[in-house]
Amino acid sequence: MDTLVLESDVRRIWAALRFVEAASGRAVDGRLAVQVPGARLQRNMSGLWVLSRIDAPAERRAEFQAYEDAFDPVPEPAALALAGTVADPLGRHLPRAFALALPRVGLPPGPLAPCFQPQDVVLDFSPAAPLLPTWAVLRVAVRHQGRPAPQAALRLQRPGGGALLGRGCSDARGEALVVAAGVPQLSAGVGAVVVQRELDAELVLSFDPAADAALPQDPDALALRAGVVRRSLALRIASGRVQTLAVDLP
């Protein structure tokens, strides 16, 4: 007896993106403008941006189509590097670029298969973002050779390359907001100081003067890249304190 198939909708999901706030690590709940040229994205009910289809170049179309359509056995996934951008229409977070490497393999073990673990993309606050009273905050004006330095990556960490405390990125005016959300109000002191309200910290700024200021940059890649303008400052931060700095890069 023949089997009657009324409808067939077979699709393979390539990957998913999750956009998170730098301060809290929570997923961004509002609207975002996400673009990944050559890929089709759709936001699901969990707030993930799911990559459901890739418009492969002509010479690789058959390879990609075979991976999307075949399920038994599953072929080797096609390798591809995608570049995307994200912007916040409400202006609470700064626009940025990001990279997505396919296939999603080689990830740390977890309850789900690697391809089902979304890639987190961290969004830095704009200088106009609302603040909580317990945060340690830096408002930094970044300049390079007398001009505003847009899209500089700022990393606030413990001295000597220690744990990351907060991060930020400068906007088109060179203004940056760096938030450290987990700074305790009191901590154990050293010697005669029983408790202390401040923490020693180091602010590291990275800036690429050759980058096109009109195009979003990847701040995570910039913070690690060699050959860029970089400067470190020693600071003392405290919960609930807002500090204003002006930094001139060489």
How is the chain split into domains, by residue range? 15-123, 136-249
pLDDT at position 98 is 97
pLDDT at position 60 is 75
Could you tell me the mean pLDDT of each successive run of 10 residues in the chain, 250 residues long? 60 85 89 91 89 78 72 69 93 95 64 69 95 94 96 95 93 96 69 66 96 94 95 94 95
The CA–CA distances, whole Å, from 32 to 46, 92, 159, 240 equal 14, 11, 35, 29
pLDDT at position 190 is 56
The beta strand positions in 61-135, using DSSP E, are 80-87, 96-102, 119-123
Enclosing H/E stretch for 243: strand 242-249
d(CA 177, CA 129): 8
pLDDT at position 114 is 53
The CATH code for residues 136-249 is 2.60.40.1120
**Which residue is associated with the tokens 């700024």?**
205
d(CA 126, CA 20): 14
- What global pTM score does this model have? 0.84
